[in-house]
């Protein structure tokens, strides 16, 4: 069992399993296709919409919303990496007021678990994208956008798996001993 060098031996935590590291990094990739599609809309490319359907995306409010949504989704996915990196255990020193402090495991686990549940529910219907009417899109656009959104189905389950790994690694030594034996 190796430990993160940033942690003292008194608070030693096992390194995350390789699968958890891969899953954490994969979360940023499953969000990327839909975010890039929204950015194409922001830049003025119809990205699968008919002329009439795209008209609603040409307002400044719609562009700000789509860009904000893309950035927030990617940042939210990036936070998953904190569950497998030292900055998810010790707050980086550059963060005002709390920098350098140890992260309480439940302060990471509870929001991550709630996020995983919410994301799973939000994106649960995406596999049925093509069964819903999209009258404001071209046939090709409807097909392509459906494909770009499919990876989002994995976001919640990947976050849940990485969260469970984080939780297991950060349980108290007494709980680890009783569940292992």
- Looking at the DSSP bridge assignments, the partners of residue 3 are 14
Element spanning 140, H or E:
helix 139-149
Distance separating alpha carbons of residues 76 and 5, to the nearest angstrom:
26
Query: Which token pair is 93?
Result: 């020193």
Tracing tokens 């549940």 back to the chain, one arrives at 117
- Looking at the DSSP bridge assignments, the partners of residue 102 are 90
What is the pTM (predicted TM-score) of this model?
0.85
Q: What is the C-alpha R_g of the chain? A: 20
Mean pLDDT by 10 residues, the chain (181 residues): 47 86 97 96 92 89 95 96 92 87 93 98 95 92 95 98 96 59 55
Specify the pLDDT at position 173. Answer: 63
Cα three-residue angle 7-11-12, rounded to 5 degrees: 65
Task: Catalogue the long-range contacts made by 125-131 (C-beta closer than 8 Å, 24 or more residues apart).
Answer: 126/150, 126/152, 126/153, 127/153
Specify the pLDDT at position 180. Answer: 56
Specify the pLDDT at position 9. Answer: 41
Specify the pLDDT at position 142. Answer: 93
Q: What are phi and psi of 110, to 5 degrees?
A: -65, -55
């Amino acid at each position: 069992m190796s430990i993160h060098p940033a942690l003292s031996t008194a608070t030693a935590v096992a390194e995350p399993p390789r699968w958890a590291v891969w899953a954490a990094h994969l979360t940023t990739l499953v969000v990327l296709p839909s975010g890039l599609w929204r950015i194409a809309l922001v830049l003025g490319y119809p990205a699968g919409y008919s002329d009439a359907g795209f008209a609603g995306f040409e307002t400044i409010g719609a562009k700000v919303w789509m860009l904000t949504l893309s950035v927030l989704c990617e940042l939210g996915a990036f936070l998953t990496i904190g569950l497998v990196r030292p900055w998810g255990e010790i707050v980086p020193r550059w963060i005002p007021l709390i920098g350098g402090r140890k992260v309480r495991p439940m302060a990471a686990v509870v929001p991550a678990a709630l996020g995983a549940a919410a994301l799973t529910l939000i994106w649960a219907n995406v596999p049925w994208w093509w069964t819903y009417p999209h009258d404001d899109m071209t046939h090709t656009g409807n097909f392509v956008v459906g494909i770009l959104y499919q990876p989002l189905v994995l976001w919640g389950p990947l976050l849940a798996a990485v969260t469970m790994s984080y939780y297991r690694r950060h349980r108290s030594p007494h709980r680890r001993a009783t569940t292992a034996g």
